[in-house]
Structure 1
Amino acid sequence: MVSPLRAHTLPPAWRFALIGAIASLPAIDVLNWLPNSEGTIGGGIMIIGAFVAGVIAAIRSSDPSAAGLRAGFIGGVLGLLIFIVAAGTTATWSLRRVVFVVFAGGLVVCVAPLFGLGFGRVGGWVANTVGSRWTTNVDAS
């Protein structure tokens, strides 16, 4: 009997980034309960989501930097979209303001993946370090 073909439409790095982004949402919500917390969804995905994506990628023998980079991109784009929607409902849009939002938005979309890359690497390092210590202790027993 022929097994059904399992087709993944997304590459592994994008899958891990999306999983990390979704998994970080409860942690972002809990962090926003803290006093004086000004955390945003985009920033939380850039940091926590990229970390989780890096951990998952390292466990699955994939590149944690690539997964973190993509999670950072997702966080940056989502944060920018939330800002534009929130500002669009309350602000008056002059030409200067539009130029500033376009420039700042481009900067955010360029810098956010770098944060994701860094936190993805940290997540991969943590997964590899903890995993190697755990397997070493099990083997020594």
Structure 2
Amino acid sequence: MTERPSKHWRRGVAEEARKLAAGTITVEDAFMAALYPVSLLDATDEALDAFESALGTLRRPSDNEVFAAVQRVVLDLNAINDQHDGAGYETGEREELCQYIDQALSDRGIDVPALTARCGLGRYEITDKWRDW
């Protein structure tokens, strides 16, 4: 399965902490821990765990089943973003999450361009109906 954005974010936080400990950056230059608090990372991983689990149960899924899984993860991510004062996912994070959802579907053998075309959507509009972040 494709790498989760949260894994990338965790690496950034850890790298910044190493630099702080080594004295190669100052506290004033550090921002990763504030941008990616543990509560955001853990909640995001929980939402993505549930999404991956839902995808794992689908066998020859209908379009409705795929969209139900996408809807659930997007609504979960909306709630997480709200819990972080609407600032949990900025532009870069939103793009990473949408790319992850698309790739996770593709990894499960779902033809995302065909799926979205059948529904009158562009490929990258699969989350738009529910996404607030």
What TM-score range do you get, normalising by the shorter chain? 0.3 to 0.5
Q: Which has the higher helix share?
A: 1
TM-score (norm 1): 0.38
